[in-house]
Amino acid sequence: MRSHPLIIANWKMHHGMSDTIKFCTELSRSALPTDVDVAICPPFTVLYTLSVVLGDDSLIAMGAQNCHFEDHGAYTGEVSPLFLKEMSCRYVIVGHSERRQYFAESNSFIGKKIQKLLELDMQPVFCIGETLTERQSEQTFGVLEKQLKEAFAEVQADKAQLKNIVIAYEPVWAIGTGVTATPAQAQEVHAWIRQWLVKQFGSDLSQSLKIIYGGSVKPDNAKELMSQADIDGALVGGASLRSKDFCAIIHNSKR
C-alpha cells in the first residue's frame, strides 16, 4: 500500500509574522484530512510564530527552506541545522533551483547538507530539475543524474537514515511560471528517478523514498498529478501562500 501523500508549502520570501498568523487562523477553520501529510516551510524569522500558532498537537509539520551543513561556526547570515532541529523543524528544503541559480549552490555543497540533516534525523527535501533549454536539448536525464550522483557522493548515511530523504522533482521551467509539467511528463521523470534509486540503493529503500513534484501545482491540477504511480506528493510555492488554495490542494491530493 502507498504511504500518505506529502504536501509541502514553500513560502519562499513571503509571509512575515502577521501574514503567518492570518494564514494559520484561516487554515484552522477548515478540517484537513488525516491521510495526507502536510508541512509548511516559512521564512526562518517566522518559524517560532508558526510553531506557536500551530500548537504542539498540530498535524502540520514545520520545515525550513535552507540550512548550513555545519553545527556552528563563522558563517555570517547562515542558519545551523541544530537550531532548526531545536525549533522542531522536521523538513529542510535543500538545493532549490533558486538557491542553485542565485546563490551558486553546487551539488556537492547540497550533498553535505543532506548528510548533515540525515545525521540529525531530519528530512532533507532534495530538489532537482532541468531548465527549459536542457529539456529542449534532451538533456533532462543527464542533468538529473549529475545532480543526484554528485550530491549522493557526499552522503554516507545508512539505509535506515536514507529513507528520510524526500526527493523533489522541480522542472525549473515550471517553477512560478504557471506552466505545469503534464502528469505524463512528471510521471516519466519520477519513474526514471525511482529506477535510478533502485540501481543505487535496491528496490526496498527506493519504494519507500518519497518523490514529490513541484512546479505550478494548483488546486485544479493536484488530483491528476497525485494519481500518477510515482508521484508521492507536491512541493507548492505560489499556491501555498493562499490558505484556501493550499487547503484545496491538500484535499485534492487524497488518494
List the catalytic residues: 96, 170
Question: Least separation, in Å, of the C-beta of 98 and ligand PGA?
Answer: 7
Distance of CA 135 to the CA centre of its chain: 21
Q: Does 237 bind ligand PGA (CB under 6 A)?
A: yes
Rounded Cα–Cα distance for residues 162 and 255 (Å): 25
Between 84 and 217, CB nearer to ligand PGA: 217
Q: Does 217 bind ligand PGA (CB under 6 A)?
A: yes
**x-or-dash string of contact with ligand PGA, 158-187, rule CB under 6 A:** ------------x----xx-----------
189, 197 Cβ separation under 8 angstroms? no
Residue of 45, 38, 36 whose CA lies nearest to 18: 45
Please identify which residue in 10, 65, 107, 147 interacts with ligand PGA, judged by CB under 6 A: 10
Question: Least separation, in Å, of the C-beta of 184 and ligand PGA?
Answer: 19
In DSSP notation, 153-189 reads TT----HHHHTT-EEEE--GGGTTTSPPPPHHHHHHH
Q: Does 16 bind ligand PGA (CB under 6 A)?
A: no
Q: Which three cell numbers stand for residue 228?
A: 500518477
Q: Does 202 bind ligand PGA (CB under 6 A)?
A: no
Residue of 26, 3, 5 whose CA lies nearest to 250: 5
Q: At a CB cut-off of 8 Å and minimum separation 6, what does 230 contact? A: 187, 190, 191, 193, 194, 211
Choices 58-66, 104-112, 211-219, 243-251 (CB under 6 A): range interacting with ligand PGA: 211-219
Strand, coil or helix: 38? strand
Which residue in this structure is represented by grid cell 526496498?
204
Q: Which three cell numbers stand for residue 214?
A: 513541484
Between 105 and 170, CB nearer to ligand PGA: 170
Name residues contacting ligand PGA, limited to 30-89 (CB under 6 A).
none
Question: Least separation, in Å, of the C-beta of 10 and ligand PGA?
Answer: 4
Q: Does 242 bind ligand PGA (CB under 6 A)?
A: no
9, 39 Cβ separation under 8 angstroms? yes
Phi, psi angle pair for 64, to nearest 5°: -115, 170
Please identify which residue in 66, 164, 216, 252 interacts with ligand PGA, judged by CB under 6 A: 216
Choices 44-52, 77-85, 157-165, 233-241 (CB under 6 A): range interacting with ligand PGA: 233-241
Q: How many CA atoms lie within 13 A of 48 on its CB side?
A: 3
Amino acid at 100: R
Q: Which residue is nearest to ligand PGA (CB)?
A: 237
Between 144 and 239, CB nearer to ligand PGA: 239
Question: Least separation, in Å, of the C-beta of 93 and ligand PGA?
Answer: 8
Judged by the rule CB under 6 A, the positions of this chain that interact with ligand PGA are 10, 170, 175-176, 214-217, 235-239
